[in-house]
Amino acid sequence: MLVRRRLLRFVRQSAPSVLLTVVLALAAAACAFGQAFAVAAALHAAITGSGDAVRALAVFALLVLVRSGLLWGRDLAARSTAENVKRRVRSRLTAKLAELGPAHTVTHPAGSTQTTLGDGVTALQGYVGFYVPQLVVSLLVPAAGVALLMWIDPAVGFAVGLCLLAAPLSRRLWGRILGERGRRHWMAYENFAARIMDALQGMTTLTSLGAGPHYGQRLRRDAEDLYRATMGNLAASSSVYIATGFFFTAGTSVAVALAAVRTAQGHLDALALLLVLWCSIECFRPLHELQNYWHEGFTGLSSGQRIVELLDTEPVVSTPRTPAQPPNARQVATGVELSLTDVTFTYPEAIRPAVHRVWLHVPAGSTQAIVGRSGAGKSTLVHLLTRVFDPDQGQVCIAGIDLRSLDPADARGLTTVVSQDTYLFHGTVAENLRIAHPSASDEELYSAARRARIHEFVRSLPQGYDTVLTERAADLSGGQRQRIAIARALLKDAPVLILDEATASVDGATEALLNEALAELRQGRTTVVIAHRLSTVVSADQIAVLDEGQVVENGTPAELADRDGYWSRLRAAHRESHHAPAGSH
């Protein structure tokens, strides 16, 4: 019921076009009753020889034309409602996703969100555009039809009225089953769509691991689940069609049979009998049409459930009622310090904290390296520094300001992350760079690219900065992608740089270019580097060693080298695995 109410709220915002749909449908129904009178009059004239059959048929033809025009208008108005509601729901969902921030992508599969936003919203159109207006028409037209039949003959009107009441009652009984089947069908569909998206995105991984056939089997199983859910759903809706169809046929037959008896008894004349025949059909027609939208309506309700769930999701980071001011340009120019004070954080639904009682102080302009085994909590620290999540306990401060007191967008504006996985969008190189600074001039773009050591390469592309990069930019090397990321970071110009170093080794020339670009980027910024290369670690001002979410060691490279701790062991292990490590000086 909640879903219906929430969806109806969107429909209400399109009240004029919904009203127009209903009015046009009612006018079309009036034409249909008019047609019934015209046909009955024509037949009566032909049978009895009294009256003008040709005129009655001309009126009938005119009404057919007018009714077709009205139905065309009704469909247009219904589509306009559907498109408007879809546009509004999509823009509410997009705004919601922006409000939920990156945490939502960390904790939810992208495929299911995409299905809700795409097919889920599309599935609403049957419900909002056609089903809801038809529901109103199905209440008014049969009521008017029964009144008309009562006027012709109360007994016939009463019998038709009873059959009309029985039809929706049978549907009510089925409603619960249909709702459940519809939900199951939608979940199977969403699951299948998410799996397909995963397969497309991970095609290279699947192929390189030779996992295609195995994954294909999972896809087939999901497709079978979807098939079963679809058939279950269709079986339930077909049963409703049959059950309600029975009442329609029974209703019309009862009306005609009763009218025939009443005619034989001399209570009705031939014209009235013909009118009963046509009008009883018209009484049931709106319900028949409603039945056609029934399946679409339930699919819309099932997808609506997911839409409402997404709209009701609370962001994991909240916006304070009166957000603090982010550091001003003067503070930024002199450099900002960064601190984590007794920070603990547990992922939603995780059992143990990913980081636990972490204390860290990074002075303005210095470089803090973070090292640790896989799963130690390094990425989680990045999530906290970029306010993807707020800590459960403790504070994360930049320039002495608790990130929690800032608007999330302002907090994220203070940091730039250059990670190993640079996402390049389908678009030109210039568009990809401007994502970081939409109003950047061409000169600013070229300057950032020059400093990121990527300008010459971009200039050498067929259309230079206007060259279109394919999705995921498979045509660029890892080093080139990283330098584009560095150019973006230079354009964003945030005071804190978070560097998630690539684990894969690059060749000497590429590394030299990357290092030059990174040196440009680090200038005047406070840097936190998730370090994998020994050379980066030893050149940092401070190294923090994370283990199982806790800082087990922290100090300058010299201090840590003197201790027989985790860092020394890590370094020794590194030495063994790389006979002559680049940075082991």
Ligand X SMILES: Nc1ncnc2c1ncn2[C@@H]1O[C@H](COP(=O)(O)OP(=O)(O)OP(=O)(O)O)[C@@H](O)[C@H]1O
β-pairing, 415-418 with 526-530?
unpaired
Shortest Cβ 110–ligand X spacing (Å): 13
Question: Nearer to ligand X by C-beta: 24 or 376?
Answer: 376
Shortest Cβ 519–ligand X spacing (Å): 24
Whether the CB-CB separation of 541 and 366 falls below 8 Å is answered with yes
Stretch in the footprint of ligand X (CB under 6 A) among 140-148, 269-277, 324-332, 368-376: 368-376
Shortest Cβ 573–ligand X spacing (Å): 16
Shortest Cβ 350–ligand X spacing (Å): 4
Shortest Cβ 376–ligand X spacing (Å): 4
Under DSSP, the state recorded for 129 is I
Query: What is the rounded CA–CA span in Å between residue 525 and residue 110?
Result: 33
Q: Which of 354, 429, 489, 531 binds ligand X (CB under 6 A)?
A: 354
Name residue, tokens 């920070």. Answer: 343
Question: Nearer to ligand X by C-beta: 109 or 175?
Answer: 109
Question: Nearer to ligand X by C-beta: 248 or 389?
Answer: 389
The number of residues that bind ligand X (CB under 6 A) is 13
Dihedral sign from CA coordinates of 375, 379, 384, 388: negative
Give the bridge partners for 333, in sequence order: none
Shortest Cβ 377–ligand X spacing (Å): 4
Shortest Cβ 526–ligand X spacing (Å): 20
Q: Segment 174-233, which members bind ligand X (CB under 6 A)? A: none
Question: Nearer to ligand X by C-beta: 374 or 439?
Answer: 374
Q: Segment 373-432, which members bind ligand X (CB under 6 A)? A: 374-380
Question: Nearer to ligand X by C-beta: 102 or 175?
Answer: 102
Shortest Cβ 372–ligand X spacing (Å): 6
Query: What is the rounded CA–CA span in Å between residue 294 and residue 236?
Result: 11
Stretch in the footprint of ligand X (CB under 6 A) among 367-375, 405-413, 470-478, 487-495: 367-375
Question: Within 13 Å and on the Cβ side, how many CA atoms surround 566?
Answer: 17
Amino acid at 243: A
Name residue, tokens 């169809």. Answer: 245
Q: Which of 1, 54, 329, 350 binds ligand X (CB under 6 A)?
A: 350
Q: Which of 80, 107, 510, 539 binds ligand X (CB under 6 A)?
A: 107
552 binds ligand X (CB under 6 A): no
Stretch in the footprint of ligand X (CB under 6 A) among 78-86, 259-267, 372-380, 448-456: 372-380
DSSP secondary structure string for all residues of 294-353:
HHHHHHHHHHHHHHHHHHHPPPSSPPPSSPPPPP-HHHHHT---EEEEEEEE--TT-SS-
Name residue, tokens 């819309």. Answer: 300
For residue 509, what are the contacts with CB-CB under 8 A and spacing of at least 6?
none
Shortest Cβ 382–ligand X spacing (Å): 8
Q: Segment 308-347, which members bind ligand X (CB under 6 A)? A: 347
Cβ count within 10 A of residue 535: 14
Q: Which of 53, 106, 136, 250 binds ligand X (CB under 6 A)?
A: 106
Question: Nearer to ligand X by C-beta: 106 or 166?
Answer: 106
Tokens of 195: 């799996």
Q: Which of 111, 161, 372, 495 binds ligand X (CB under 6 A)?
A: 372
Whether the CB-CB separation of 316 and 350 falls below 8 Å is answered with no
Question: Nearer to ligand X by C-beta: 79 or 357?
Answer: 357
Residue 324 dihedral angles phi and psi, to the nearest 5°: -70, 160
Question: Nearer to ligand X by C-beta: 34 or 377?
Answer: 377
Whether the CB-CB separation of 312 and 73 falls below 8 Å is answered with no
Query: What is the rounded CA–CA span in Å between residue 421 and residue 267?
Result: 85
Query: What is the rounded CA–CA span in Å between residue 187 and residue 470?
Result: 32
Provide the edge-to-edge strand list for the sheet that holds 355-362: 355-362, 338-345, 393-398, 401-402
Q: Comparing C-alpha atoms, which of 501, 503, 488, 499 is closest to residue 423?
A: 488
Query: What is the rounded CA–CA span in Å between residue 336 and residue 365?
Result: 7
Whether the CB-CB separation of 405 and 320 falls below 8 Å is answered with yes
Question: Nearer to ligand X by C-beta: 313 or 405?
Answer: 313
Query: What is the rounded CA–CA span in Å between residue 82 and residue 124?
Result: 7
Shortest Cβ 437–ligand X spacing (Å): 28
Question: Nearer to ligand X by C-beta: 215 or 347?
Answer: 347
Shortest Cβ 501–ligand X spacing (Å): 11
Question: Nearer to ligand X by C-beta: 321 or 352?
Answer: 352
Query: What is the rounded CA–CA span in Å between residue 340 and residue 342?
Result: 6
Whether the CB-CB separation of 89 and 10 falls below 8 Å is answered with yes
Stretch in the footprint of ligand X (CB under 6 A) among 185-193, 371-379, 429-437, 473-481: 371-379
Cβ count within 10 A of residue 434: 18
Question: Nearer to ligand X by C-beta: 16 or 375?
Answer: 375
Question: Nearer to ligand X by C-beta: 17 or 380?
Answer: 380
Stretch in the footprint of ligand X (CB under 6 A) among 188-196, 370-378, 436-444, 514-522: 370-378
Give the residues lining the site for ligand X (CB under 6 A).
Answer: 106-107, 347, 350, 354, 372, 374-380
